[in-house]
């Protein structure tokens, strides 16, 4: 077992601990002179003063946890206080307790609460009022400092007298019996009692420890093995008796008759032990005059060696019989739990620093200043000094092929078959004290010094990439694993050299310091790393994953808090500061003596410790948690503390956390490690922490719902509203544009109509007037007889008549175009209307045919096609003088085909002049190119003309709304 002490420097509000008890939620409650203190294994919290001021005003003398898990507290002058979830109640003189100084509390088998005071014994029968018991049946003014049950429903009450009260005691006359104790020097004062096996009773008094073997009717005897006044008693779950004394420390009396004693300052805060308690993990708690002490089965055992010097840790060596040799200037042999100083007559006057047992049985002894000694199995002694190169020996290493390597302050030397070879002055030697050694391949030795790593190969120091990559770190430990990897412990952490890569492994989070002083690997491929205050044990694969960057923390490590639990500091600076034993455990040197860690941890009984929600900080402000944590949109940082209530020091507790919905994987954490999250995305999360024991089923869980709200402009409803508003804005803009287009169209239409009216009332009317005059003149000058030949004037007049007729026709076409701009929508109808007008005005014969399923072209395409057809018809009528025209409109799969054939005069390609007043053939081609179509013209002199127009549907088809079709 190991012990740990807490005092005022560790946060304990008052170092005088009067009483202790653990509640079902696993908190430890301490009664002190200043009040009530709650302890979770990490933090001490003053408790209950707001619920019951008497706790702080008078202090707490005794603590009782009853069956429902609530707390009953006896104060030093303020009566009895009952604390329950959400409240508290005080019982004082108004509740029947005449003496407010409560020394003892007890709950009997019937559930009734008993209270012992300096003057009277009380019992709570009704739940509202305490009744005095000692004034019935002849017991008057009893001072009661301890109350325990007898196992049959009755109670033992001890103080100024030892009384047994029968189980059938009621409010009337009670049955009681006084048991006499041996005469003491002063007046009898019973401080504590504990029920032993059977009917036996242990009694702690100022006169010592007494034992009543068979209860009432037997004779009490004094226990001679316990010295001084006994103040506190506890029978633990293993039926062992713990006895706290005044000024004599703590005793442990086992059933086998053995006695173990703990004293200050090595194991106790003080030698006056006022209170004892056992928690659910079977750890023993001792409340003393100077603080709190815990005794735990941690898997560690520290053997304090007398005369150990803090500055010289020495070394340890496991012998073939699994006994241990300890060197700390003097040589000590620990065998079967017994520590024996060893004096070697041939080695006197010099401090012994290291020893080693060869496979052959020879015994090596390294001294500080006298060199090394080899004691052969037959007793022959060889002494080596100058051969080694220096007389200050740091350690030994035996290898199967190379004999014994000797580490010294000047370098390394090798012993083989009786010959010693020093490598202190060979080229490349480090010329520094050797801190560590490890054997590589046959003929190879890795050497660690304060200046880095060196490789000795076949008698010469050679260049090594691992040494170059490491640099000038102080190498305290070296280990070569069976896969050829080189593990290096330095002041800056653990390094791994493998596959020509150096990987740095930082373990500060688990070891509380970066330095690695020792490296061991057992037969189960578990690695043991020793730091200044802590030993960590984990599977080698876990360290390999950490080195490769696959994990951020060690997976399932076993952490042995050496300094916290023993007060000792681990050793360094020698080649033999740690060694595996023959059972799978390990020995380490400390400044107090050798420390042994078992091969396996103690079994963990019961469930893992519960996890409590400590505090939640949002942007540095603590928030009360009564449900889900609601984070406002402006929240940036969330910090959550959720430590376990871990009173036990047993290693193997595993903690992991995860923010479900955010963290992709679980994260291993230490008990006091906070979780910090910044700039969480909006959403719902669950913060979950799990605690479990290594290699044991079951886990305790804490879950905290978290809601991160988003800014209103990121909420779905707002985004939908913005989308709707955008669509409405687009629709409104479209409507406005349509109105503007319609307005411009109306203005253009009105202007066209005005121009058409003006042309009709001026140009056309004037031309009609001129035409009428020319007709009249032509009639007057017409030839009389059939044989009369028209004169030149008549011919000129006829030409003028024809020209003015053409002008009137073209003017009317212009007016019609102005009055009826083509808007698209039905190409076939538009062409029919055009042909009807031509037929009516000019009296020409025009045939029209349409074939296929009509598809509506967009306005631009239909307009360009219509104007191209109109131009072709105009050319046929005006320029070609055609008498017969055939127009064909066909809708095929992917395009519209239009052909115009006439019997006019035709023309020869290249003979037309399109620079005059007509649009011309060039305009026809340009219009078709604009809509992605083609225009092909086939013509010859006196053979008419064929015009073929092709318009593809691609990009030219439009969707026609029903109302447009109806128009």
Write down the pLDDT at residue 913: 47
pLDDT digits (tens, 9 = 90+) for 83-99: 998 889 999 999 999 88
> Is it the case that residue 876 has pLDDT exceeding 60?
yes
**pTM for this entry:** 0.70
Q: Can you give the length of the chain in residues?
A: 967
Between residues 52 and 773, the one the model is more confident about: 52
Between residues 802 and 271, the one the model is more confident about: 271
pLDDT digits (tens, 9 = 90+) for 446-472: 999 999 999 999 999 999 999 999 999
pLDDT digits (tens, 9 = 90+) for 503-524: 999 888 788 889 999 999 999 9
What number is the average pLDDT over the span 791-795?
69
> Is it the case that residue 915 has pLDDT exceeding 50?
no
Which residue bears the tokens 């078959």?
Answer: 417
Low-confidence winner among 15-19, 786-790, 860-864 (lowest mean pLDDT):
786-790
Write down the pLDDT at residue 966: 37
CA distance 172 to 574: 76
Write down the pLDDT at residue 249: 95
Write down the pLDDT at residue 376: 93
Buried-exposed string 539-576: b where 16+ CB fall within 10 A, e elsewhere: bbebbbebbeeebebbbebbbbbbbebbbbbbbbbbbb
Low-confidence winner among 127-131, 166-170, 354-358, 896-900 (lowest mean pLDDT):
166-170
**pLDDT band at residue 961, thresholds of 50, 70 and 90?**
very low
CA distance 810 to 833: 17
Spatial contact of 656 and 689, defined as CB atoms under 8 Å apart: yes
Write down the pLDDT at residue 781: 65
Write down the pLDDT at residue 465: 95
Write down the pLDDT at residue 348: 75
> Is it the case that residue 48 has pLDDT exceeding 50?
yes
pLDDT digits (tens, 9 = 90+) for 231-273: 999 999 989 999 999 999 999 998 888 899 999 988 899 999 9
What number is the average pLDDT over the span 376-392?
91
Identify the three-state secondary structure at position 815.
helix
Write down the pLDDT at residue 957: 81
Write down the pLDDT at residue 967: 36
Spatial strand order of the sheet with 558-561 comes to 518-521, 526-530, 534-539, 558-561
Task: Give me 6's structure tokens.
Answer: 């807490």
What number is the average pLDDT over the span 335-360?
86
Q: Which helix (H) or strand (E) holds 437?
A: strand 434-439
pLDDT digits (tens, 9 = 90+) for 183-236: 887 777 899 999 998 899 999 999 999 999 998 889 999 999 999 999 999 999
What number is the average pLDDT over the span 270-296?
94
> Is it the case that residue 714 has pLDDT exceeding 80?
no
């Amino acid at each position: 077992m190991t012990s740990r002490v807490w005092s005022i420097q560790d946060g304990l509000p008052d170092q005088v601990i009067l009483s202790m008890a653990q509640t079902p939620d696993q908190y430890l409650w301490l009664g002190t002179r200043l009040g009530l203190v709650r302890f979770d294994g990490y933090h001490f919290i003053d408790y209950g003063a707001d619920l019951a001021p008497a706790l702080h005003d008078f202090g707490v003398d005794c603590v009782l946890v009853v069956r429902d898990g609530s707390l009953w507290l006896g104060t030093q002058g303020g009566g009895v206080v009952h604390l329950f979830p959400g409240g508290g109640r005080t019982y004082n003189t108004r509740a029947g307790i005449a003496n407010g100084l409560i020394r003892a509390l007890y709950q009997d088998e019937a559930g009734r609460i008993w209270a012992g005071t300096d003057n009277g014994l009380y019992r709570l029968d009704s739940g509202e009022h305490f009744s005095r018991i000692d004034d019935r049946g002849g017991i008057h003014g009893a001072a009661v400092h301890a109350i325990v049950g007898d196992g049959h429903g009755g109670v033992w009450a001890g103080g100024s007298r030892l009384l047994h009260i029968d189980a059938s005691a009621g409010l009337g006359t009670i049955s009681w019996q006084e048991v006499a104790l041996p005469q003491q020097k002063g007046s009898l004062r019973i401080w504590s009692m504990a029920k032993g096996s059977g009917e036996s009773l242990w009694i702690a008094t100022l006169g010592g420890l007494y034992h009543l073997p068979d209860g009432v009717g037997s004779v009490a005897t004094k226990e001679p093995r316990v010295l001084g006044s006994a103040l506190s008693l506890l029978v633990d779950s293993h039926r062992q008796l713990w006895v706290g004394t005044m000024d004599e420390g703590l005793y442990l009396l086992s059933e086998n008759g053995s006695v173990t004693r703990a004293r200050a300052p090595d194991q106790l805060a003080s030698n006056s032990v006022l209170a004892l308690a056992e928690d659910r993990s079977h750890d023993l708690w001792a409340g003393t005059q100077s603080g709190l002490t815990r005794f735990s089965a941690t898997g560690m055992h520290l053997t304090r060696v007398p005369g150990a010097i803090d500055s010289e840790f020495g070394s340890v060596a496991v012998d073939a019989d699994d006994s241990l040799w300890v060197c700390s200037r003097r040589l000590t042999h620990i065998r079967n739990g017994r520590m024996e100083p060893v004096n070697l007559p041939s080695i006197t006057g010099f401090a012994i620093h290291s020893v080693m047992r060869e496979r052959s049985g020879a015994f090596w002894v390294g001294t500080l200043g006298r060199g090394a000694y080899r004691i052969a199995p037959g007793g022959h002694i060889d002494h080596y000094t100058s051969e080694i190169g220096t007389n200050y020996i740091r350690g030994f290493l035996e290898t199967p092929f190379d004999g014994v390597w000797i580490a010294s302050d000047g370098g390394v030397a090798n012993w083989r078959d009786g010959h010693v070879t020093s490598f202190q002055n060979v080229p490349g030697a480090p010329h520094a004290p050797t801190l560590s050694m490890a054997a590589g391949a046959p003929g190879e030795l890795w050497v660690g010094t304060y200046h880095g790593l060196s490789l000795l190969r076949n008698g010469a120091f050679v260049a090594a990439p691992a040494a170059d990559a490491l640099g000038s770190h102080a190498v305290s430990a070296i280990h070569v694993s069976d896969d050829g990897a080189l593990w290096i412990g330095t002041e800056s952490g653990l390094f791994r050299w493998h596959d020509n890569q150096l990987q740095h492994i930082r373990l500060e989070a688990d070891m509380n310091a970066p330095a690695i002083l020792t490296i061991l690997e057992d037969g189960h491929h578990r690695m043991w790393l020793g730091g200044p205050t802590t030993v960590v044990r984990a599977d080698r694969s876990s360290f390999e994953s950490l080195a490769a960057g696959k994990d951020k923390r060690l997976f399932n490590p076993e952490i042995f808090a050496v300094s916290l639990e023993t007060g000792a500091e681990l050793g360094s600076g020698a080649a033999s500061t740690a060694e595996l034993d023959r059972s799978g455990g390990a020995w380490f040197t400390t400044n107090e003596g050798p420390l042994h860690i078992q091969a396996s941890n103690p079994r963990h009984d019961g469930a893992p410790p519960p996890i409590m929600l400590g505090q939640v900080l949002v942007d540095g402000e603590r928030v009360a948690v009564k449900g889900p944590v609601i984070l406002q949109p402006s929240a940036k940082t969330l910090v959550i503390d959720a430590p376990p209530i871990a009173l036990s020091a047993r290693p193997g507790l595993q903690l992991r956390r995860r923010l479900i919905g955010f963290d992709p994987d679980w994260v291993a954490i230490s008990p006091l490690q906070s979780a910090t999250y910044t700039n969480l995305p909006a959403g719902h999360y669950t913060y979950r922490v799990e605690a479990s024991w290594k290699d044991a089923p079951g886990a305790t869980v804490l879950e905290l719902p978290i809601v991160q709200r988003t800014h209103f402009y990121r909420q779905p409803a707002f985004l939908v509203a913005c989308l709707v508003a955008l669509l409405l804005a687009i629709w409104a803009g479209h409507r406005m544009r349509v109105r503007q287009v319609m307005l411009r169209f109306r203005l253009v239409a009105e202007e066209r109509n005005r121009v058409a009216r003006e042309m009709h009332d001026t140009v056309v009317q004037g031309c009609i007037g001129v035409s009428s005059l020319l007709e009249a003149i032509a009639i007057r000058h017409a030839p009389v007889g059939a044989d009369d030949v028209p004169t030149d004037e008549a011919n000129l007049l006829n030409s003028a008549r024809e020209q003015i007729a053409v002008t009137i026709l073209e003017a009317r076409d212009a007016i019609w175009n102005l009055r009826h701009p083509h808007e698209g929508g039905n190409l076939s109808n538009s062409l029919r209307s055009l042909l009807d007008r031509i037929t009516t005005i000019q009296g020409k014969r025009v045939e029209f045919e349409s074939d296929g399923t009509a598809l509506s072209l967009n306005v631009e395409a239909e307009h360009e096609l219509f104007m191209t057809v109109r131009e072709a018809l105009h050319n046929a009528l005006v320029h070609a003088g055609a008498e017969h025209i055939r127009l064909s409109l066909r809708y095929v799969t992917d395009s519209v085909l239009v052909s115009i054939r006439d019997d006019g005069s035709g023309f020869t390609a290249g003979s037309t002049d399109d620079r005059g007043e007509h649009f011309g053939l060039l305009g026809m081609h340009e219009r078709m190119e604009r809509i992605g179509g083609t225009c092909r013209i086939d013509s010859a002199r006196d053979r008419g003309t064929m015009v073929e127009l092709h318009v593809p549907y691609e990009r030219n088809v439009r969707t026609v709304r029903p109302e447009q079709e109806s128009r």
